Protein backbone atom coordinates (compact mmCIF):
# COMPACT_ATOMS: atom_id res chain seq x y z
CA UNK A 1 0.00 0.00 0.00
CA UNK A 2 1.33 3.40 -1.00
CA UNK A 3 0.98 6.61 0.96
CA UNK A 4 -0.29 9.67 -0.86
CA UNK A 5 1.87 12.76 -0.61
CA UNK A 6 0.30 16.19 -0.49
CA UNK A 7 1.15 18.55 -3.34
CA UNK A 8 0.23 22.06 -4.36
CA UNK A 9 -1.06 22.96 -7.82
CA UNK A 10 0.48 26.25 -8.95
CA UNK A 11 -1.58 28.67 -11.03
CA UNK A 12 1.14 31.20 -11.79
CA UNK A 13 2.13 29.80 -15.19
CA UNK A 14 -1.52 29.48 -16.25
CA UNK A 15 -2.18 33.13 -15.46
CA UNK A 16 0.99 34.20 -17.26
CA UNK A 17 -0.05 32.06 -20.20
CA UNK A 18 -3.21 34.14 -20.54
CA UNK A 19 -1.12 37.31 -20.83
CA UNK A 20 1.21 35.79 -23.43
CA UNK A 21 -1.45 34.05 -25.51
CA UNK A 22 -3.51 37.24 -25.65
CA UNK A 23 -0.49 39.23 -26.84
CA UNK A 24 0.37 36.60 -29.44
CA UNK A 25 -3.16 36.60 -30.86
CA UNK A 26 -3.18 40.34 -31.64
CA UNK A 27 -2.89 40.48 -35.44
CA UNK A 28 -2.75 44.25 -35.96
CA UNK A 29 0.40 46.19 -36.83
CA UNK A 30 2.76 46.35 -33.83
CA UNK A 31 1.92 49.94 -32.84
CA UNK A 32 -1.66 50.16 -34.08
CA UNK A 33 -3.74 51.53 -31.21
CA UNK A 34 -7.15 50.38 -30.08
CA UNK A 35 -6.19 46.70 -29.64
CA UNK A 36 -8.13 46.13 -26.45
CA UNK A 37 -6.74 42.65 -25.74
CA UNK A 38 -3.41 44.38 -25.05
CA UNK A 39 -4.88 45.61 -21.78
CA UNK A 40 -5.53 41.99 -20.79
CA UNK A 41 -1.84 41.25 -21.28
CA UNK A 42 -0.87 44.24 -19.13
CA UNK A 43 -3.16 43.27 -16.28
CA UNK A 44 -2.45 39.53 -16.37
CA UNK A 45 1.30 40.07 -16.53
CA UNK A 46 1.06 41.78 -13.15
CA UNK A 47 -1.47 39.25 -11.84
CA UNK A 48 1.02 36.51 -12.73
CA UNK A 49 3.78 38.28 -10.78
CA UNK A 50 1.47 38.68 -7.79
CA UNK A 51 0.53 35.01 -8.04
CA UNK A 52 4.20 34.00 -8.31
CA UNK A 53 5.08 35.81 -5.09
CA UNK A 54 2.01 34.54 -3.22
CA UNK A 55 2.43 30.94 -4.32
CA UNK A 56 6.15 30.86 -3.62
CA UNK A 57 5.50 32.31 -0.16
CA UNK A 58 2.84 29.70 0.60
CA UNK A 59 5.07 26.92 -0.73
CA UNK A 60 7.97 28.06 1.46
CA UNK A 61 5.69 28.28 4.49
CA UNK A 62 4.36 24.76 3.91
CA UNK A 63 7.75 23.22 3.30
CA UNK A 64 9.53 24.91 6.21
CA UNK A 65 6.73 23.83 8.54
CA UNK A 66 7.30 20.18 7.59
CA UNK A 67 11.03 20.06 6.94
CA UNK A 68 12.82 23.28 7.97
CA UNK A 69 16.27 21.69 8.03
CA UNK A 70 15.89 20.33 4.50
CA UNK A 71 14.64 23.56 2.97
CA UNK A 72 17.30 25.70 4.61
CA UNK A 73 17.38 28.98 6.57
CA UNK A 74 16.85 31.22 3.53
CA UNK A 75 13.52 29.59 2.70
CA UNK A 76 12.48 29.84 6.35
CA UNK A 77 13.26 33.56 6.54
CA UNK A 78 11.60 34.10 3.16
CA UNK A 79 8.42 32.40 4.37
CA UNK A 80 8.29 34.49 7.53
CA UNK A 81 9.19 37.88 6.03
CA UNK A 82 7.02 37.54 2.93
CA UNK A 83 4.09 36.47 5.06
CA UNK A 84 4.54 39.62 7.12
CA UNK A 85 4.86 41.71 3.95
CA UNK A 86 1.56 40.35 2.66
CA UNK A 87 -0.20 41.14 5.93
CA UNK A 88 1.24 44.67 5.79
CA UNK A 89 -0.04 45.07 2.20
CA UNK A 90 3.47 45.79 0.93
CA UNK A 91 3.85 46.83 -2.68
CA UNK A 92 4.71 44.11 -5.16
CA UNK A 93 7.96 45.88 -6.05
CA UNK A 94 8.94 45.84 -2.37
CA UNK A 95 8.20 42.13 -2.11
CA UNK A 96 10.55 41.35 -4.99
CA UNK A 97 13.22 43.53 -3.41
CA UNK A 98 12.89 41.66 -0.12
CA UNK A 99 12.75 38.28 -1.84
CA UNK A 100 15.98 38.82 -3.78
CA UNK A 101 17.84 40.09 -0.73
CA UNK A 102 16.67 37.22 1.48
CA UNK A 103 17.19 34.41 -1.02
CA UNK A 104 20.41 35.59 -2.67
CA UNK A 105 21.92 38.26 -0.43
CA UNK A 106 21.89 40.64 -3.39
CA UNK A 107 20.10 43.95 -3.80
CA UNK A 108 17.90 44.94 -6.70
CA UNK A 109 19.27 47.62 -9.01
CA UNK A 110 16.20 49.83 -9.24
CA UNK A 111 17.92 52.06 -11.79
CA UNK A 112 18.62 49.16 -14.15
CA UNK A 113 16.63 46.58 -16.05
CA UNK A 114 14.34 44.79 -15.64
CA UNK A 115 13.29 46.87 -12.64
CA UNK A 116 12.85 50.16 -14.48
CA UNK A 117 10.40 48.43 -16.79
CA UNK A 118 8.83 46.64 -13.82
CA UNK A 119 8.10 49.98 -12.13
CA UNK A 120 6.66 51.30 -15.40
CA UNK A 121 4.50 48.21 -15.84
CA UNK A 122 3.13 48.63 -12.33
CA UNK A 123 2.26 52.28 -12.99
CA UNK A 124 0.49 51.30 -16.19
CA UNK A 125 -1.48 48.51 -14.49
CA UNK A 126 -2.36 50.74 -11.55
CA UNK A 127 -3.49 53.43 -13.95
CA UNK A 128 -5.90 50.94 -15.52
CA UNK A 129 -7.17 49.63 -12.19
CA UNK A 130 -7.61 53.14 -10.77
CA UNK A 131 -8.51 54.97 -13.96
CA UNK A 132 -8.84 58.74 -13.76
CA UNK A 133 -10.70 60.94 -16.28
CA UNK A 134 -8.90 61.93 -19.46
CA UNK A 135 -8.03 65.58 -20.01
CA UNK A 136 -10.19 67.71 -22.28
CA UNK A 137 -9.25 66.91 -25.86
CA UNK A 138 -10.16 68.64 -29.12
CA UNK A 139 -9.61 66.42 -32.14
CA UNK A 140 -7.42 68.09 -34.71
CA UNK A 141 -6.30 70.71 -32.21
CA UNK A 142 -5.02 69.04 -29.03
CA UNK A 143 -1.85 67.00 -29.54
CA UNK A 144 -0.90 63.77 -27.82
CA UNK A 145 1.90 65.66 -26.15
CA UNK A 146 -0.55 68.13 -24.64
CA UNK A 147 -3.04 65.47 -23.56
CA UNK A 148 -0.70 62.67 -22.53
CA UNK A 149 2.67 64.31 -21.95
CA UNK A 150 3.34 62.48 -18.68
CA UNK A 151 2.65 59.07 -20.16
CA UNK A 152 4.70 59.76 -23.28
CA UNK A 153 7.61 60.94 -21.12
CA UNK A 154 7.49 57.81 -18.98
CA UNK A 155 7.68 55.50 -21.97
CA UNK A 156 10.36 57.67 -23.57
CA UNK A 157 12.01 56.03 -26.55
CA UNK A 158 10.59 52.53 -26.04
CA UNK A 159 8.50 52.99 -29.20
CA UNK A 160 5.67 50.75 -28.04
CA UNK A 161 2.74 53.17 -27.67
CA UNK A 162 0.19 53.70 -30.45
CA UNK A 163 1.48 55.84 -33.29
CA UNK A 164 -1.42 55.75 -35.75
CA UNK A 165 -3.45 58.82 -34.69
CA UNK A 166 -4.04 61.39 -31.98
CA UNK A 167 -6.53 60.29 -29.37
CA UNK A 168 -8.10 61.77 -26.27
CA UNK A 169 -7.86 58.37 -24.57
CA UNK A 170 -4.64 57.52 -22.74
CA UNK A 171 -5.60 53.86 -22.68
CA UNK A 172 -5.78 53.89 -26.48
CA UNK A 173 -2.06 54.64 -26.56
CA UNK A 174 -1.39 51.49 -24.51
CA UNK A 175 -3.63 49.25 -26.60
CA UNK A 176 -0.93 47.94 -28.92
CA UNK A 177 0.66 44.59 -29.63
CA UNK A 178 4.06 46.00 -28.67
CA UNK A 179 2.78 47.09 -25.25
CA UNK A 180 1.24 43.64 -24.73
CA UNK A 181 4.49 41.87 -25.60
CA UNK A 182 6.58 44.30 -23.55
CA UNK A 183 4.38 43.65 -20.51
CA UNK A 184 4.84 39.89 -20.82
CA UNK A 185 8.59 40.11 -21.37
CA UNK A 186 8.98 42.48 -18.43
CA UNK A 187 7.19 40.04 -16.10
CA UNK A 188 9.27 37.16 -17.40
CA UNK A 189 12.54 39.08 -16.94
CA UNK A 190 11.63 40.01 -13.35
CA UNK A 191 10.97 36.39 -12.43
CA UNK A 192 14.13 35.24 -14.18
CA UNK A 193 16.27 37.87 -12.45
CA UNK A 194 15.09 36.71 -9.03
CA UNK A 195 15.25 32.97 -9.66
CA UNK A 196 18.65 33.11 -11.37
CA UNK A 197 20.19 34.91 -8.38
CA UNK A 198 19.22 32.23 -5.84
CA UNK A 199 21.99 29.72 -4.90
CA UNK A 200 21.27 26.05 -5.47
CA UNK A 201 19.04 24.57 -2.78
CA UNK A 202 15.76 22.72 -2.52
CA UNK A 203 13.66 25.87 -2.71
CA UNK A 204 15.50 26.98 -5.86
CA UNK A 205 14.33 23.77 -7.53
CA UNK A 206 10.75 24.99 -7.23
CA UNK A 207 11.69 28.51 -8.30
CA UNK A 208 13.48 27.14 -11.36
CA UNK A 209 10.47 25.02 -12.29
CA UNK A 210 8.17 28.05 -12.26
CA UNK A 211 10.74 30.24 -13.98
CA UNK A 212 11.11 27.70 -16.78
CA UNK A 213 7.36 27.98 -17.40
CA UNK A 214 7.59 31.77 -17.63
CA UNK A 215 10.53 31.62 -20.05
CA UNK A 216 8.89 28.98 -22.26
CA UNK A 217 5.85 31.23 -22.61
CA UNK A 218 7.99 34.24 -23.54
CA UNK A 219 9.79 32.20 -26.18
CA UNK A 220 6.52 31.97 -28.14
CA UNK A 221 6.19 35.74 -28.62
pLDDT in tens, 153-183: 999 889 999 998 778 889 999 999 999 999 9
pLDDT in tens, 172-217: 999 999 999 999 999 999 999 999 999 888 888 899 999 999 999 9
Q: Is 1 among the domain residues?
A: no
Looking at residue 139, what is its pLDDT? 81
Looking at residue 218, what is its pLDDT? 97
Q: Is 103 among the domain residues?
A: yes
Asked if residues 144 and 173 have their Cβ atoms less than 8 Å apart, the reply is yes
Residue spans of beta strands (DSSP E) within the chain:
none
What range defines the domain where residue 160 resides? Answer: 12-218
Q: Is 3 among the domain residues?
A: no
Asked if residues 194 and 57 have their Cβ atoms less than 8 Å apart, the reply is no
Q: Is 4 among the domain residues?
A: no
- How many whole angstroms separate alpha carbon 220 and alpha carbon 20? 8
pLDDT in tens, 95-151: 999 999 999 999 888 889 999 999 999 999 999 999 888 888 888 788 778 888 889
Q: Is 121 among the domain residues?
A: yes
The C-alpha R_g of the chain, in whole angstroms, comes to 20
pLDDT at position 33 over 90? yes
Q: Taking Cα atoms as reference points, which of 217, 199, 220 lies closest to residue 208? A: 199
Q: How many structural domains compose the chain?
A: 1
pLDDT at position 2 over 50? no
Per-residue pLDDT band at 66 (split at 50, 70, 90): low
Give the pTM: 0.91
Looking at residue 166, what is its pLDDT? 74
Q: Is 6 among the domain residues?
A: no
Backbone φ, ψ for residue 20 (5° rounding)? -70, -45
pLDDT in tens, 36-64: 999 999 999 999 999 999 999 998 888 76
Q: Is 7 among the domain residues?
A: no
Per-residue pLDDT band at 1 (split at 50, 70, 90): very low
Q: Is 190 among the domain residues?
A: yes
Amino acid sequence: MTTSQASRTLETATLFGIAVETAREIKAAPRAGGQRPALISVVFSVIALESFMNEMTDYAQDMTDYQPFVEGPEALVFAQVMGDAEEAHARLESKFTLAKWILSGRNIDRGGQPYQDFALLMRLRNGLVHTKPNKLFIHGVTTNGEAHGTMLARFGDKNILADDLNSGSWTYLAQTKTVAEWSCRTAGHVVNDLCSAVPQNNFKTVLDFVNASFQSHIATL
